[in-house]
Structure 1
Amino acid sequence: MKFLIVLAVAVACASADVSHIVKSDEYAAPVVKSSYDITPEGHFQFNYETGNGIYAQAEGAVKNVNSEYPAIEVKGAYKYTSPDGQPIDLAYVADENGYQPQGSHLPTPHPIPEAIARALAYIEAHPPSPSVVERKVVANLLG
């Protein structure tokens, strides 16, 4: 019985009309400009632009090649218009510190409330004495 229910749901999903979701004209964008360059030393650079206004570019290289911890650093940007008409313009850096995007469309953190900012300033101006910290650490260890 469960098999028949699952089969009926699968057939219903497979036969659903999704032609209204994807319009083929929107996705047939010609590539207007394209450039790729890779060097034997590990540097690369690329950019491309499509007929519908999508643009992307990036460049990267291996940092600290002869060290124990080599890292790849990539800097790039891309632009396009979202389906709701908002222009998206994003620049990014990706390196040993992670992916760091920047763009006006990205959410930003809320400002720190004034009371919390004052409390943090007070704690910074009046740090606890080392003996108090030591007692608390020992008390936590002894449990």
Structure 2
Amino acid sequence: MKCVLLIVFVSIALCMAAPADNVQIVKLESQVLPDGYSYAYETSDGSKQEQQATLKKLGPEEEALQVTGSYSYVGDDGQTYTVTYTANENGFQPQGEHIPHV
């Protein structure tokens, strides 16, 4: 669990530290609990991300994180792209109108 939380916070830090033309953080929320976490942020350029995770019992001595979330950004074409996702014992499962369906 500590490793996952570290990855989440490093991801947020990298996004916030990335060079951009006067992009400001307009919203930042986070909560760390013994059995999960959540965070959300939004920047002045229209980018957003939110994620929630809970600890799921897979067996008597096996646990895994059940993660759900979404992110959106404005592309070079001016269109807003949104991806929603689930990540769990079955892998990363993204969905979005611009993502090809297989």
User: Please, what TM-score do these two structures have when normalized by structure 1?
Assistant: 0.54
**Which secondary structure state, in structure 1, belongs to the residue aligned with residue 69 of structure 2?**
strand
Partner of 2:94: 101
**Is 1:75 matched with 2:68?**
yes
State yes or no: 1:63 paired with 2:53.
Answer: no
Higher helix share: 1
Structure 1 runs, 4 residues or longer, greater than 6 Å off? none
Report 1 or 2 for greater relative contact order, CA contacts < 8 Å, sequence distance ≥ 6.
2
1:84-120 Cα distance to aligned partner (Å, 9 max, x none): 33321110000000000010000123xxxxxxxxxxx
Q: State the structure with more CA Rg.
A: 1
Shift of 1:68: 2.5
Unmatched segments (≥5 aa) in structure 2? 1-18
Say how many residue pairs are matched. 84
Shift in Å, 1:43 = 1.3
Q: Which residue of structure 1 aligns with residue 24 of structure 2?
A: 30
Give the number of the structure whose residues are more often strand, by fraction. Answer: 2
Quote the offset at 1:61 in angstroms: 1.2
Q: Does 1:53 align with 2:46?
A: yes
Shift of 1:69: 2.1
Q: Structure 2 length as normaliser, TM-score?
A: 0.74
| RMSD after superposition | 1.8
SS in 1 for 2:97: coil
1:14-66 Cα shifts (integer Å, max 9, x gaps): xxxxxxxxxx7x54310001100001x23101000000000110000111177
How high is the sequence identity, in percent, across the aligned residues? 32
Give the unaligned 5+ runs of structure 1.
1-23, 110-143
